[in-house]
Amino acid sequence: MNFLTAAHTDVGIKKKVNQDSFCLKVASYKSEHVAFSVLCDGMGGLRMGELASSFLVNAFSEWFDEVLPGELKKGLQPQNIQKQWDAIIRRQNVLIKDYGARQGVSLGTTLTMILIFGNKYIAAHVGDSRLYQISSELRQLTKDHSLVAREVEQGKITSDEAKVDKRRNILLQCVGASNVVTPQIFVGQAVPNEVFVLCSDGFRHEVQDEEIFGTLAPDLLNNEAVIKKTLVDLVELNKTRGETDNITAVAIKCTE
């Protein structure tokens, strides 16, 4: 498997600080190629959200550089990666929470991440950033850990009502602000000519799923320059429609 990748982040039309953080890496081991991305949407005043998101991204970036090569050398086992990621998330939850307590502030961050290798992917998720898989249709792989998502699931409000609900930014858990964090970690299949998209919530508030699919469908993304331009255009569309949050998206297209 090979990959075409691109990412774009924007502070948006209202905020002075971009509290989103991400990393995007592609590496090779022998004949094996792997793609890796982490996206975090931080929250907290006085630049604290920016710190929370960067702490978590840096922790997983170090894992990729220092731990993953050994896992590839001995034969990558998804269950081992899942255990390592779970331990990192829970450890970072404690570290970020303790840091906030020492500073006298509340801070936290969402987390959405993916590792693609061979014909598989491993993903982890906390909060309301999202991971999509796009092939002949757009599928949301992650479950929003938010109050409105829970109320949709319980039948109290509709999905359309949730999109405009004033409580849509209330999270049920995020890394650093929850006493206990329970990440969603899962494994799936990856095949050539499909696209994985990670995004902060600012990327999808003002655009419809049909618009994301209509511009990021695999057959439309022939090179990295096209992918980058498409992400930029979608971010600008969000801003034109009045999105006030930071906006970040990462796209990874799997190729032969």
Query: Is residue 167 in some structural domain?
Result: no
Give the amino acid at 72.
L
The structural domain count of the chain equals: 1
Give percent above pLDDT 70 in the chain: 99
Could you please report the per-residue DSSP string of 211-225? Answer: HHHHHH-GGG--SHH
The whole domain housing 82 covers: 2-139+173-251
* Pairwise CA distance, residues 192 & 173, whole Å: 34
Query: Is residue 72 in some structural domain?
Result: yes
Q: How does the average pLDDT of the chain come out, rounded?
A: 94
* Pairwise CA distance, residues 172 & 169, whole Å: 10
Q: For the ranges 74-83, 89-98, 157-166, which has the lowest average pLDDT? A: 157-166
Q: For residue range 136-180, what is the model confidence (pLDDT) as tens digits? A: 999 999 999 989 889 888 898 888 888 788 788 889 999 999 999
Q: For residue range 29-77, what is the model confidence (pLDDT) as tens digits? A: 888 899 999 999 999 765 689 999 999 999 999 999 999 999 999 999 9
CATH code of 71's domain: 3.60.40.10
- Residue 46's pLDDT is 54
Query: Is residue 144 in some structural domain?
Result: no
Query: Is residue 256 in some structural domain?
Result: no
Query: Is residue 149 in some structural domain?
Result: no
Query: Is residue 47 in some structural domain?
Result: yes
Query: Is residue 121 in some structural domain?
Result: yes
Residues across the chain:
256
Query: Is residue 94 in some structural domain?
Result: yes
- Residue 166's pLDDT is 79
